[in-house]
Structure 1
Amino acid sequence: MELCRDLDIPYVAYRPLDAGELARTHGPRVPLDWLLNFGPHNARIPSSSQPRHLDEIVAAVQDGPT
């Protein structure tokens, strides 16, 4: 991701929450903050099969990195 950032190449983080494993361990805020802090070249594509989890993901992304 650092090389993509340095070369201004978009990076798509597929399964950034590791199919929910990172979110179960840390909540969605920690892994999404990590991705958001890499810069605008990094496209996050989180997904969830549960509406409650999707709401948490959306809220974490809307708040921006901490």
Structure 2
Amino acid sequence: MPADTAALEERIAHLQRVVEDLSDTVARQDQEIALLTRRVALLMEREAARQDEGTGGVVMGDERPPHY
């Protein structure tokens, strides 16, 4: 019987470690998602302001502007 108890205690310890690791991962991802959400909101506000000003979009790479 003691061998079974030791095996169960070992499995419980392993599961506790896995749960803690997963909890840390979820907490880190929550912070990252919150940061990314704020950044997207800021970009959307900037784009809305740019559209209100009528300055148009940003030219990327070797793309020719639409007035050519």
Identify the TM-score tier after normalising by the shorter chain: under 0.3
- Answer 1 or 2: which has greater helix percent: 2
- Answer 1 or 2: which has greater strand percent: 1
TM-score, scaled relative to structure 2: 0.24
Higher RCO (CA 8 Å, separation ≥ 6 residues):
1
TM-score, scaled relative to structure 1: 0.24
Instruction: Name which one, 1 or 2, has greater alpha-carbon Rg.
Output: 2
